[in-house]
Chains A and B, each alone.
Chain A
Amino acid sequence: MDQALDLSGNKMTDLGNGHAVIEYGSPWGRPIARWVPSWGEEKREVIERMRKHLVQRFGEDRGLRMAENSRNMIIFPNLVINDIMAITIRTFQPEAADRMTVNAWALGSRDEDPDLRKLRLFNFLEFLGPGGFATPDDQEALENCQRGYRNAREAAWNDISKGMPRVGPPKNDDEEQMRCFWREWRRRMSAAA
């Protein structure tokens, strides 16, 4: 492997106008081309083949980065694209102070091999979706935050300061991507006022 290639991929990129993306190496399997033992040996070969294909098509740096790294992207103000254990696209529509409609889609490729589609859908459900092992817990946390905001008159702030003192480029878990969002929010809302 190319020594210069950094697959730790632990970073945040400010895309401007409130958009941002974090990128990081992740332990989970990625149906695009990252095999993990829990998928079984029989899936290993086809995943390896896809990995080689990515490297062939996009070069080693970009190909392996596509295979290995996970990405969470916010497109301001209400579109999120998560390229994690599967690719999920989410939109957020606030309908009232205490109600938000979230739509989520799973992205797959056209003419996908049936076995790989099965694997991709199975992998998606492990963590994602209303019945997954992670999404509903995130949602619970957000709902509880929303309950807390009812105290806004007494405590009119939301602490997303993690990583602010860091010197140098922000890491993926520094919450800088959230500050990108809120800076843009403030800019637009102040302009409107």
Chain B
Amino acid sequence: MNADAHLARAATASGQCTRAQVEEFLYEEAALLDEWRVEDWFAMFAEGATYEVPPTGDGDELDPAKSLFYIADDYVRLRERVARLLKKDAHSEYPRSRLRHIVSNVRITGFAAGIADVTCNFITYRTKRGVVDTYYGQHFYRIDCSVSPWKIKSKRSVLDMDQLYAGKLTIII
């Protein structure tokens, strides 16, 4: 199947949700994180949503009930994570690092009952005290497009590095 046919099929499959809309949504998310507006970022999540970063080198099939993730937040803990990112005693992020989130290769891989499955590639740069940490990989989203504004039902960020070179994951990638 050529690329155009794939795009056409994705557009049909996506129904009322276009890639341009999804991109706009993801760019807004990236901007909120770059600006450290983490409470607004949290508001993009649906109640009961999850946010996960599996360990490096193990793909996107892992289950946090069986494997040790870097981050496996339910909705309550994600709210705590966000609250913590705004505190002075979150020493690893106070003073705050500077972040730049790059999102590309956005694809709608499925759409049913108003819920879009979305993947995209990402690079997130974090700078602090002259050290640049680079995190890159693929985000997997389930986005509820049947509500306004749209809400993220789950986000899983799968890292492509073979090690967590920074040794820590103190930001939202």
B40 at the interface (CB under 8 A from A): no
- Pick from B31-39, B100-108, B162-170 the stretch touching chain A: B162-170
- On chain A, the number of residues with a Cβ less than 8 Å from chain B's Cβ atoms is 20
Q: Give the docked Cα–Cα distance between A125 and B50 (Å).
A: 14
| Secondary structure of the B contact surface, majority rule | loop
Q: Give the docked Cα–Cα distance between A139 and B169 (Å).
A: 11
- On chain B, the number of residues with a Cβ less than 8 Å from chain A's Cβ atoms is 24
What residues on B are CB-neighbors of A102 within 8 Å?
A: 167
Known: A117-B65, A140-B91, A140-B92. A133 touches B70 (CB 8 A): no
A-B contact count (CB 8 A): 58
What residues on B are CB-neighbors of A48 within 8 Å?
A: none
Task: Please state if A121 and B64 are interface contacts (CB–CB under 8 Å).
Answer: yes
Known: A126-B77, A130-B164, A141-B91. A136 touches B68 (CB 8 A): no
Task: Please state if A129 and B68 are interface contacts (CB–CB under 8 Å).
Answer: yes
Q: Give the docked Cα–Cα distance between A137 and B81 (Å).
A: 13
- Which chain A residue lies CB-closest to B80? A133
What residues on B are CB-neighbors of A114 within 8 Å?
A: 65-66
Using a CB–CB distance below 8 Å, which chain B residues touch chain A? Answer: 53, 64-72, 77, 80-81, 84, 89-92, 164, 166-170
Using a CB–CB distance below 8 Å, which chain A residues touch chain B? Answer: 102, 106, 114, 117-118, 121-122, 124-126, 129-131, 133, 135-137, 139-141
Can you identify 28 A-B contacts, CB atoms within 8 angstroms? A114-B65, A114-B66, A117-B66, A118-B65, A118-B66, A121-B65, A121-B66, A121-B68, A121-B69, A125-B68, A125-B69, A125-B72, A129-B68, A130-B70, A130-B164, A130-B166, A130-B167, A130-B168, A130-B169, A131-B69, A131-B170, A133-B81, A135-B168, A136-B169, A137-B91, A139-B92, A140-B91, A140-B92
